[in-house]
Amino acid sequence: MRPSDPGIDSTVVVMEQLVCNKLKVEDWEQLEALAAEIIPEVLPDIEPENNNLPEQPYSPDCPRREKPTTAKDYYFPILKALDEVGGSAKKKDLLVRVEQLMKGVLKEVDRQSQPYTNRNNNLRWHNRFSAAGEQMVKDVLLRNDSQIGFWEISDAGCQFLVQRTADVS
């Protein structure tokens, strides 16, 4: 397909919509049909047996990136740490105890720093810990009226902790 071909205009419009996130889910069928029409014209010489693509997308010498621990994985350790100290604690004190409780759970990728954040040496797991705390307030597991800098377990958080402890036992 060349810039002067009649189908190029519709292709450009669809691609612009795709890039600008204006393409609706129902338009994917249109995109697939368009791709089926365009790809053979643009890449006519590629045959499956001649594509020279490697059998495996990754080299066996290059391990796949490990996924970080999810924010939800922090819920139980945060609630357990709060319970151990009577239900309320400073965030920085919780951070220390949660790290101890998650010793076998935190991965190497969790301990990597994230240079694009505003703070120096901000570790990924610190960010996930904070995100978990914010989500736990939304999920009513932590109180939303605690003193600034403090996290406090809610009644629902206590129930979650009791249920989770019973499930583990």
Q: What is the pLDDT of residues 35-70, one digit of tens each?
A: 666 666 555 554 545 445 445 444 455 456 788 999
Are the C-beta atoms of 95 and 152 separated by less than 8 Å?
A: no
Q: Assess whether 87 and 43 both reside in one domain.
A: no
Token digits for 146? 């605690």
Q: Does residue 2 belong to any structural domain of this protein?
A: no
Number of domains present in the structure of the chain: 2
Residues in the chain: 169
pLDDT on residue 138? 96
Indicate yes or no: pTM above 0.75.
no
Average pLDDT over residues 15-35: 60
Q: Does residue 1 belong to any structural domain of this protein?
A: no
Q: Assess whether 79 and 132 both reside in one domain.
A: yes
Q: Assess whether 121 and 76 both reside in one domain.
A: yes
pLDDT on residue 63? 54
Residue range 121-149, pLDDT digits in tens: 688 899 899 999 999 999 999 999 999 99
Higher local confidence (pLDDT), 28 or 46:
28
Least confident of 9-23, 48-62, 82-96: 48-62
Q: Does residue 156 belong to any structural domain of this protein?
A: yes
Q: Assess whether 27 and 79 both reside in one domain.
A: no
Q: Assess whether 76 and 20 both reside in one domain.
A: no
Are the C-beta atoms of 164 and 76 separated by less than 8 Å?
A: yes
